[in-house]
Amino acid sequence: GSVRVAMPGAVRMLCLAALLGALGAGGTELTLELPDSAQRCFHQELESGIKFTLDYQVISGGHYDVDCHVEDPSGKTIYQETKKQYDSFSHHTEVKGVYTFCFSNEFSTFSHKIVYFDFQVGDEPPILPDMNNRVTALTQLESACVTIHEMLNAVIDSQTHYRLREAQDRSRAEELNGRVSYWSVGETLILFVVSIGQVMLLKSFFTEKRPSSGGAGT
């Protein structure tokens, strides 16, 4: 038979609160529209010695690429990539101040882009109180909480990944559907013109030509 361990209500609530608190780590997710020949920048004030991570992906528009660069408070470029479809950048701040990251579509003259980015600041807090300073091994309950937390993080990452893939695939499908529709309309017009031309050509073959009325008199 199986052994079932009863979990006290207070401990269960503590574990749930720890999980929810850990999942609510500081960060910003945003989807923005980037017009052609445009640039959009975001600013974040950070303390020194803080880790931040920037993940971004182009969802729709053109060749699904964008320029991105990050500057520190002194104006020094610490990250720069051109025409990237997606990327991830992590950095530990060395000085306190306002950090700037920009997305640029200036190389495109007619394609609008939709860009998703996730900006995370700081390390994730420990799931359990004083977890980093403990000298004893985790109990079975605490190990289960840590495992559940890691699995929930994996689920969140998978959901975000599939949501972005779904949005990108939907954009490509809509773009393809528009091209097929325009091509169908063009083919219909061409067939209509060709049909009229063929009818007029056949009609000219069977049209009786009457002789001119001007004859010589006797």
- What are the structure tokens assigned to 33, written together? 């529209």
Structure-token pair, residue 187: 């083919």
Domain ranges of the chain: 25-125, 129-202
Q: Which region holds residue 28: left if phi is over 0, alpha if psi is between -120 and 50, else beta?
A: beta
pLDDT of residue 99: 95
Res. 209: pLDDT tops 80: no
For residue 142, pLDDT over 90 is answered with no
The token pair that represents 47 in the structure block: 């303390």
Predicted TM-score (pTM) above 0.75: no
Query: Residue 124 — very low, low, confident or very high, per pLDDT cuts 50/70/90?
Result: low
CATH 2.60.120.380 fits 25-125, yes or no: yes
Q: Which residues contact 60 (CB under 8 A, 6 or more apart)?
A: 113, 114, 167, 168, 171, 172, 175
pLDDT at 56: 92
Cα–Cα separations (whole angstroms), residue 203 to 190, 191, 208, 212: 20, 18, 10, 21
